[in-house]
Structure 1
């Protein structure tokens, strides 16, 4: 049986609800940049390590707002099984990229496993998203890895950002989509043509992964000693497909049943050579296709579940986690309304808005984004520390 249909039509109420939710979330991110991230920007130059910790936590806590609204407003059910991701160890997370919203629902997975993962997860995503006012700026502050999907352009960025993670003294888990793009109709057709040219099997539920970027990241993380585990995440949508952020915004469409399964691999157990690593990834994706084929073969939506390993666990949203999610999401909602009131009540806030836009747009024009200023400041701080240490010795 094939995957469920993509949602293309919704009612007026759904459209209004989706637009309000998305606008409110983006407005919260923009105002958060104005009233939190801009005022604490001097800390980046005074004490980079403290700034890094503060930003990681603030943005991690804020992620409970959009992820919480998805569950509370739409009633989306998230089923999470597998092995718990350890937030105290550096790791690479790889996942099939069925829709543009996989990363959004993934935050709901992290809450169920360990809310602290929201503060330590980093994402590799399309470079154009960094220019989104508010949300893109915050992702830059959070040291997300923006890529152009061209290895020639991205390789140096990957190296510098992994060095930054490793030298921060903090443990992050980097989320990577090896397929390079979501499985939309256009990408699926390109994958079919590619499979025909290479004599490969055309997959129905995944795209053939791009091995070059994956092997390069593994090699770099090994080089700097910044990888303990690799987590393979499989995502499946039982009832419907909402392909893009615009479907959520304009149609108010949202899947009601999302399934995740996580499997852990010791980094030391993976092949050493790039060629063997590439084969390992291709074989993993072949098995992922088989798992998804079994998932969608069940005609009854309620019976669709990803197969689990014998030692896998089910991560439910218990009362404690639901209380944390609702409390934190409510806090950010109230704070956003307070920011809105302050902004419209005092004309002086226009100066802060102008400063915020100047800081973040200026950083993008001059350095490529706030994240690269942070990389430079951290490198300078390490150099200064090394010089002082050598002088003392």
Structure 2
């Protein structure tokens, strides 16, 4: 007979697999169904084409938030001056990269105080071809970085111009550290610090300032940059480092975000040196905050965020209702599509056909480049 520890481990793994299945299947099935609509609105050069794509994809982020918060009970605590966040403005969000899943969890902040429809993420280039999820990221016009400055410089410029062309103001989540914090990356960061006479960090990695400086200057030129959001993420009781931890059900019990909001006129953007200095100062502050946070055993007492208690309750209520509606809608979508594929041969072959077309577009052109070419 299995002991209680074995039963608990099996339950945890089932929870993790179920969460991953909901997220991945909804992304795959959803994009396969909506991709003909996406192509149609762009092919017709409708002025609201970008709005349609972003609106549908933002419901997936709401689904994700509802799944890990409401269904799995992950507590999200948000501290700082979130009342200053402008949900309608163009902004860059800089976040320390503690785990490979930070981008997913940050959607909780964006759902409450930012705009999920404007929400864009900077990701590794290898993720753009992931079936379903990668295709949706391309269609949403996420920024894929190749870790080659000559290529990335041009991608940043193209990224900003694509939103300028459709008069859309993105809110871009960017990881200046370049990779998540693990023993190997921390060791490399500390060696870099020693070589360049910089402070040694233990809770963050030294940020790469070149890409961030280019982002700031390019977004100022093309997208009317209004704010830079300094966000710090911490995990008080458990860390879900990567996808293998997610599948094992090793989910964080609580996630804490500390938010500081800066209007662009508070930053010296006249030179790359000024922008770099600003970013490096924020990372020193992150190291100090996280050191105190973890040494105090992850104390996450709720602090003032600029809103009243009633306003915060209203924000939580709206977020809960939106998430529940999107969760119900996407699960219904998965069930209906699965049923149609199984019982109807025409639906089956149509689904296969669209999947093959999507694979070809993703591989040889990219939905982001295709949509931009259509509108140009």
Please confirm whether the aligned pair reaches a TM-score higher than 0.5, indicating the same fold: yes
Instruction: Verify: 1:107 aligned to 2:107, yes or no.
Output: yes
Equivalent residue number for residue 343 of structure 2: 345
Report which stretch shifted further, 270-279 or 220-229. Answer: 220-229
What 5-or-longer segments of structure 2 have no aligned partner?
1-7
Larger deviation, residues 120-129 vs 77-86:
77-86
In 2: Cα distance, 1:264 partner to 1:227 partner: 13
Whether the 8 Å CA contact 2:163–2:223 is kept in 1: the answer is no
Residue matched to 1:234: 232
Structure 1 residues 222 and 112, CA, compared in 2 at 3 Å: closer, same or farther?
Answer: closer
8 Å contact 2:38–2:53 — kept in the other structure? Answer: no
- Residues 326, 57 of structure 1: CA spacing in aligned structure 2 closer, same or farther, 3 A cutoff? same
User: Once the 2 structures are TM-superposed, how far is the Cα of residue 325 of structure 1 from its aligned partner?
Assistant: 1.6
Alpha-carbon distance in structure 2 between the residues aligned to 1:30 and 1:366: 19
Match in the other structure for 1:76: 74
SS at match of 1:335: helix
> Is the Cα contact below 8 Å between 2:87 and 2:113 reproduced in 1?
no
Distance apart, 1:38 and its partner CA: 2.6
Normalised to the residue count of structure 2, the TM-score between the two structures is 0.91
Match of 2:254 in 1: 257
User: How far apart, CA to CA, are the structure 2 residues paired with 1:320 and 1:276?
Assistant: 39
Q: Which stretches of structure 1, 4 residues or more, deviate above 6 A after TM superposition? A: 306-309
User: Whole-Å Cα distance in 2 between the matches of residues 40 and 199 of structure 1?
Assistant: 51
What residue is the counterpart of 2:373 in the other structure? 376
> Which of the residues 260, 263, 268 maps onto 1:266?
263
The aligned counterpart of 1:160 is: 158
> 3-state DSSP class of the match of 2:194?
helix
Change (3 A) 1:180 1:306: farther
SS at match of 2:233: strand
> Are residues 293 and 307 of structure 1, via their aligned partners in 2, closer, same or farther at CA, if it must alter by over 3 Å?
farther
How far apart, in 2, do the equivalents of 1:43 and 1:257 lie? 40
2:322 corresponds to which residue? 324
- Give the drift of 1:246: 2.2
**Paired residues of 1:291 and 1:307 also in contact (CA < 8 A):** no
Partner in structure 2 of residue 93 of structure 1: 93
**For 2:94, what is the secondary structure of its paired residue?**
strand
Equivalent residue, structure 2, for 1:204: 202
Are the aligned partners of 2:341 and 2:351 in contact in 1 as well (CA < 8 Å)?
Answer: no
SS at match of 2:89: coil
What's the counterpart of residue 304 of structure 1? Answer: 300
- Measured in 2, the distance between the counterparts of 1:166 and 1:340 equals 38
Equivalent of 1:41 in 39, 42, 45: 39
| Cα distance in structure 1, aligned partners of 2:67 and 2:223 | 38
**Distance in 2 (alpha carbons) for counterparts of 1:254 and 1:273:** 42
Question: What's the offset of the Cα at 1:222?
Answer: 1.7
User: 1-side partners of 2:276 and 2:288: how far apart?
Assistant: 19
Q: How much has 1:357 moved relative to structure 2?
A: 2.6
Q: Deviations over 1:97-144 (max 9, x none)?
A: 111111111111122225xx1111111111111111011111111111
Question: Structure 1 length as normaliser, TM-score?
Answer: 0.87
Q: Cα RMSD between the aligned structures?
A: 2.0
State the match for 1:147 in structure 2: 145
Question: Secondary structure of 1:179's match?
Answer: coil
Q: Once the 2 structures are TM-superposed, how far is the Cα of residue 268 of structure 1 from its aligned partner?
A: 2.1
Residues 190 and 305 of structure 1: CA distance in aligned 2, closer, same or farther (over 3 Å): farther
Pair 1:125–1:308, CA change in 2 (3 A): farther
8 Å CA contact 2:340, 2:348 repeated in 1: no
Report matched runs for 1:150-189 at 5 Å: 150-189=148-187
The match for 2:273 among 258, 272, 275 is: 275
Residue from 117, 123, 126 that aligns with 1:125? 123
Instruction: Report which stretch shifted further, 43-52 or 154-163.
Output: 43-52
CA shift at 1:306, angstroms?
8.2
Give a deviation string over 1:303-360, Cα, whole Å, max 9, x none: 3358768x57785563333122212211211121111111111122232233323332
- Structure 2 distance, partners of 1:203, 1:372, is 39
